[in-house]
Amino acid sequence: MRHLMSPLDFTVEELDNLFDLANDIENNMSKYAHVCDGKKLATCFYEPSTRTRLSFESAMLSLGGSVIGFSDAGSSSASKGESVSDTIRVISCFADICAMRHPKEGAPMVAASKSSIPVINAGDGGHQHPTQTLTDLLTIRSLKGNLRDFTIGLCGDLKFGRTVHSLIHALIRYPGIRFIFISPEELKVPDYITDMLKEKHIPYEEVIRLEEIMPRLDFLYMTRVQRERFFNEEDYVRLKDFYILNKEKMKLAKQDMLILHPLPRVNEISVEVDDDPRAAYFKQVQYGVYVRMALILTLLGIKTKI
Ligand code: NCD
């Protein structure tokens, strides 16, 4: 039995197969409409979510399966003091696969160790968000044709943003990737990540101003400032509008640069940018459903012919 805790749980070749499957699903939805008939997905969300939970649910329903679960810790037995380990043992009796989001780093991993069904980490604290990364990689691969030789700017809260941490880990396995980290001093990417990049000789730069590096980017990955992980509101208020991508700044970008964002957006991308053909963040949401469909099939061991 396999779980998904980190994007590195799959080899590059396995990811290629997963993305091929996701693209086949994209082009032949009806072929997959009953492949999970009779199967159940449990979504156990101890932290707020719109996209990820509904994307998982939509994915399972589109495969013919059904969905059970809870969307906040307050309505689960966690509020009575039940441990994640006990909860997953119980869920294992009810469902065939589980997607879990938790504010504590490592909680889905603890669950996986006690589970008799595949567990998918749907975001654990400031740590990892592997299915967002699968979404990001599929989006890049589908819109650009491959996953190599590009410069990606990651902008915003690089300290607490788990999507950023997961994406960096995943991208370093592809050739010719260069990172530019754009953040205020207080929200820089953690040292363990820059140490890893140095060790692997992966080129990266750290800058504060977005404008100065904009013309060099092939992708710009914007993120929101993660209010819920701040220790005080004052710091959040000071930093929340540090970056606002608008039409004016987009004039500095290449004609084929793509803007990605895991969403939700707060103020960091002005709505006037949404009509720009380079804005790919809503397409990204759609790719998130295809890749989760492919992931559910893969972890359940359901074989289909592409
Ligand atoms: C992200 C998350 O939960 O980490 N959202 C998502 O799942 N797409 C990003 C965020 O909350 O900023």
Reply yes or no on whether the pLDDT at 48 is more than 90. no
Q: What is the mean pLDDT of the chain?
A: 96
pLDDT tens readout for residues 113-155: 999 999 999 999 989 999 999 999 999 999 999 999 999 999 9
- The whole-angstrom separation of Cα 204 and Cα 172 is 11
| Confidence at residue 61, expressed as pLDDT on a 0 to 100 scale | 98
CB distance 123 to ligand 1 below 6 Å: yes
Rg (CA), the chain: 19
| Confidence at residue 253, expressed as pLDDT on a 0 to 100 scale | 98
pLDDT band for position 306 (cuts 50, 70, 90): confident
| Confidence at residue 78, expressed as pLDDT on a 0 to 100 scale | 83
What is the average pLDDT across 31-52? 96
- The whole-angstrom separation of Cα 52 and Cα 131 is 8
Smallest CA separation from ligand 1 atom 7, residue: 52
The Å distance, Cα 152 to ligand 1 centre, comes to 19
| Confidence at residue 97, expressed as pLDDT on a 0 to 100 scale | 98
| Confidence at residue 200, expressed as pLDDT on a 0 to 100 scale | 97
∠ CA 59-57-289, nearest 5°, is: 35
| Confidence at residue 156, expressed as pLDDT on a 0 to 100 scale | 97
- The whole-angstrom separation of Cα 124 and Cα 131 is 11
| Confidence at residue 109, expressed as pLDDT on a 0 to 100 scale | 98
| Confidence at residue 80, expressed as pLDDT on a 0 to 100 scale | 86
| Confidence at residue 128, expressed as pLDDT on a 0 to 100 scale | 93
Q: Ligand 1 pocket: which of 43, 225, 263 to mutate (most atoms <8 Å of CB)?
A: 263
pLDDT tens readout for residues 207-223: 999 999 999 999 999 99
| Confidence at residue 13, expressed as pLDDT on a 0 to 100 scale | 98
The one catalytic residue among 51, 216, 229, 283: 51
**Which residues, in sequence order, are bridge partners of residue 207?**
182
| Confidence at residue 76, expressed as pLDDT on a 0 to 100 scale | 81
The Å distance, Cα 305 to ligand 1 centre, comes to 32
Identify the CA nearest to 168 among candidates 146, 156, 182, 152: 152
- The whole-angstrom separation of Cα 169 and Cα 229 is 21
Bond prior to 264 in cis (omega within 30° of 0): yes
Tell me the three state secondary structure of residue 28: coil
Closest atom of ligand 1 to CA, residue 101: 3
What is the average pLDDT across 256-269? 97
| Confidence at residue 125, expressed as pLDDT on a 0 to 100 scale | 92
Reply yes or no on whether the pLDDT at 266 is more than 90. yes
The one catalytic residue among 40, 101, 162, 292: 101
Residues 6+ apart with CB under 8 A from 95: 40, 41, 42, 68, 117
Tell me the three state secondary structure of residue 9: helix
- The whole-angstrom separation of Cα 277 and Cα 187 is 29
What is the average pLDDT across 193-197? 98
- Lowest average pLDDT, out of 56-70, 183-197, 229-243, 255-269, goes to 229-243
pLDDT tens readout for residues 76-86: 888 888 999 99
Residues 6+ apart with CB under 8 A from 278: 250, 253, 255, 256, 257, 258, 259
What is the average pLDDT across 248-275? 97
- The pTM for the full model equals 0.96
Could you tell me if 181 and 205 are in contact, meaning their C-beta atoms sit under 8 angstroms apart? yes
- The whole-angstrom separation of Cα 273 and Cα 280 is 10
CB distance 127 to ligand 1 below 6 Å: no
Helix (H) or strand (E) holding 58: helix 51-62
Side by side, the strands of the sheet bearing 97-102 are 66-70, 40-45, 97-102, 119-124
State the Cα torsion 165-169-171-177 to the nearest 10°.
90
Reply yes or no on whether the pLDDT at 92 is more than 90. yes
- The whole-angstrom separation of Cα 240 and Cα 248 is 20
Task: Assess whether 101 carries a catalytic annotation.
Answer: yes
Smallest CA separation from ligand 1 atom 8, residue: 262
Instruction: Calculate what percentage of the chain has a pLDDT beyond 90.
Output: 92
Per DSSP (E only), the strands in 128-232 are 150-155, 177-182, 204-207, 219-222
| Confidence at residue 79, expressed as pLDDT on a 0 to 100 scale | 81
Closest atom of ligand 1 to CA, residue 162: 4
Reply yes or no on whether the pLDDT at 50 is more than 90. no
**Which residues, in sequence order, are bridge partners of residue 178?**
151
Task: Assess whether 87 carries a catalytic annotation.
Answer: no
What is the average pLDDT across 242-250? 97
What is the average pLDDT across 21-42? 98
Could you tell me if 127 and 106 are in contact, meaning their C-beta atoms sit under 8 angstroms apart? yes
The one catalytic residue among 3, 39, 40, 52: 52
The Å distance, Cα 164 to ligand 1 centre, comes to 10
The Å distance, Cα 263 to ligand 1 centre, comes to 6
